[in-house]
Homo-oligomer: A and B are copies of this chain.
Amino acid sequence: MVHNCEIRVRYGETDQMGRVHHASYVHYLEIARIEMLRELGHAYSGIEADGFLLPVIDLSIQYKGVVIYDDIIMVETKASINGRIRMDFSYRLWCGEILVGEASVQLACLNKGTLRPTALPDSLVRSIQTTQLKR
């Protein structure tokens, strides 16, 4: 499954180059995966309430085009389970027909109390695995 999420560029996300500051992409990726999880029935606030944290442990972004103020970015997100503890997200970011970025993010699952690695919640694993079967 590919999840699609539209995000409009905020004025405060530009810099003096007249384009989006490159750190803003990191926020767009976070918003897109949170909306994907929400659509799968796993609001991130609920995941934390259940005693888990999902910090980012690896991030890479290739910037392939110019994004400016007020553009609407379409973020395509795919998710997969990586072992018992990690989730991988891969992204393509579009402005209309233009591919403006590709990215990947890895999360690790921690126990909120101990801050030690722990297995991802079963229901989350099943949701992601089910989406991978879909086209």
Contact = CB atoms under 8 A, between A and B. Distances in A.
A63 B26 CA distance: 14
A119 interface: no
A98 interface: no
Interface residues of A, number: 37
Interface of A: 10-12, 14-19, 21-23, 26-27, 30-31, 34, 43-45, 48, 53, 55-64, 66, 68-70, 115
B21 A12 contact: yes
Contacts of A70: 43-45
A58 B69 contact: no
B56 A17 contact: no
Contact of A27 (B12, B43, B55): B12
